[in-house]
Structure 1
Amino acid sequence: MTISAEPATIERACGPSGELVLRRAGAHYEIISNGVFLMDTRNGESERLLVQAAVAGLAPPVSLLIGGLGVGFSLAEAAALPGAGDITVVEIEPAVIGWHATHLRAFSAAALDDPRVRVVTADLLDHLRGTTRRHDAICLDIDNGPDWTVTPANAGLYGDDGLDLLAARLTGRGVLAVWSANAAPAFQERLRARFAEVEARPVPVPRGEPDVVYLARTPHR
């Protein structure tokens, strides 16, 4: 009988959202935020789909904004796309960015070294308020989605004001893609109030209910 080893703590850090812990479990890593499991490196299917679906059908070059670096699956996918132009990644936690120079580098495929990639250390709402730049695709992977925010302040992204701001930062052909750990019907209705086209794509996971990627196109101006 094989007994799985308990995850080992690799690093602890205190950041804007509280305590972050990076743990290693076998070949994989886990990030814990204030004692709550946030993400791991075991399965990035839905994070990759987030980016694939956002840029599908858009003529290159595509300007992308990724909200949340996480373990790097979304960034790695974006950097691998032949039609990707500039890629801006907004991540609030300096420790997470630092881990991509060491422990998590393989999972983001060293994309932080790509000259097309710019990493901004900031809260995403603050970043959006401080710029007028528009992107062809905005991909959000913040916390565990609209209905399950480990950091309470992140709920503002998924509310009325946050969605208005996100819609204003899209180009005319732009797509907003939002990752969620569960179906979020109320959030989907808020999207419908702001976008002409809204789609929910379930992504099966090994255990539990599917992840969901929400796609919203053609903002109402």
Structure 2
Amino acid sequence: MTPRELIGTAEVPGGPPLRLFRRNDDFMIVLDRNELMSTRMSGSEVALGTLTCEPLAAHPAPRVLIGGYGMGFTLRAVLGPLGAKAEVVVAELVPGIIEWARGPMAALTAGCLDDARVDLQMRDVGEVMREGAGRFDAILLDVDNGPDGLTREANEGLYAPAGLAAARRALRPGGVLAVWSAAPDPAFTRRLLKAGFATEEVRVKARENGKGASHIIWLARPRTG
């Protein structure tokens, strides 16, 4: 087997560094010994974008927040069904992730960060959610390997009651909070319900060809009444 080549290291504010590896044409982003994402297993990141934003295709001017750029699979899936008047805010805390996207992974990025609909903000997605009520039609969170602070301890707050309350306030009527996870988490499902969300838990394959492990996407909508 061809050995992995270390391409670069990116510092994470308040967390351990990320490393970018390449093996032949495949890229992998690794935290300690955990492979957070790779170009070989992008199916569930694509599904996060399509499941959330295909229902918004007829919306005249939807506003979407994505927490975590990653390798851009979710962003490209979001942009696909949305019209010219859409606004997609991408909150990415790690500058190195964007440097990799514009550098060694530029071909994979395919210009999505330069799309006129994209507003890239280099900061914590939690800050964006807390800035005002009723701002977004959809909020997509994929900043960890699930609803816990794997990449940095401060991310725990996104999935705690206060973070879920901030997400709910930031949604417009009819909006949806979508959260990606590598594995089921019944405790998080209960927190969503307690925070006032009606929740659908969708199991999707890690690979776009329908093979490989299954990942989880929660689609949570604020209950009314």
- 1:144 maps to 145
| 1:202 aligned partner | 203
CA distance in 2, matches of 1:125, 1:141: 12
Residue 79 (str. 1) matches residue 79 (str. 2): yes
Aligned to 1:41: 39
Q: Give the structure 1 partner of residue 28 of structure 2.
A: 30
- Residues 43 and 36 of structure 1: CA distance in aligned 2, closer, same or farther (over 3 Å): closer
Structure 2 residue aligned with 1:174:
175
**Alpha-carbon displacement from aligned partner over 1:153-200 (angstroms, at most 9, x marks no partner):** 211111111100011100001011110000011111111123452100
The alignment's TM-score, normalised by the length of structure 2, stands at: 0.88
Q: Give the secondary structure class of the aligned counterpart of 1:42.
A: coil
Q: Which residue of 2 aligns with 1:111?
A: 112
Tell whether the 8 Å contact from 1:63 to 1:135 is kept in structure 2 after alignment. Answer: yes
5 Å matches for 1:42-57?
42-57=40-55
> Which segment drifts farther, 151-160 or 29-38?
29-38
Indicate conservation of the 8 Å contact 2:189/2:199, yes or no. yes
The secondary structure found in structure 1 opposite 2:139 is strand
Q: CA deviation at 1:34?
A: 4.3
Give the structure, 1 or 2, with the largest relative contact order (CA under 8 Å, sep 6 or more). Answer: 2
- Other structure's SS at 2:106 match: coil
Q: Distance in 2 between matches of 1:194 and 1:219?
A: 9
Specify the code of the residue in structure 2 equivalent to 1:211.
H
Match of 1:215 among 177, 201, 219: 219
SS at match of 2:158: helix
Q: Deviations over 1:72-116 (max 9, x none)?
A: 100111122244710000010000011111222233321111011
TM-score, scaled to structure 1 = 0.89
1:91 aligns with 2:85: no
- CA RMSD in angstroms, aligned pairs only: 2.0
Cα offset for 1:35? 4.8
For residue 10 of structure 2, what is the amino acid of its counterpart? A
Counterpart amino acid of residue 214 in structure 1: W
Cα deviations by residue, 1:129-172 (Å, 9 ceiling, x for unpaired): 34446100111111101147232221111111110001110000
Per mean C-alpha deviation after superposition, the further-off stretch among 144-153 and 169-178 is 144-153
**Contact kept? 1:5, 1:25, Cα under 8 Å:** yes
Give the distance between the partners of 1:111 and 1:134, measured in 2 at CA: 22
Q: Tell me if structure 2 keeps the 8 A contact 1:147–1:184.
A: no
Query: 2:5 is aligned with what amino acid?
Result: A
**Residue pair 2:133, 2:171 contacting (<8 A) in 1 also:** no
In structure 1, runs of 5+ residues without a counterpart are none
Percent identical pairs in the alignment equals 35
- Structure 2: any 5+ residue segments left out of the alignment? none
Match in the other structure for 1:10: 7
Question: How many pairs are equivalent?
Answer: 217
Distance 1:22 1:207 in 2: 22
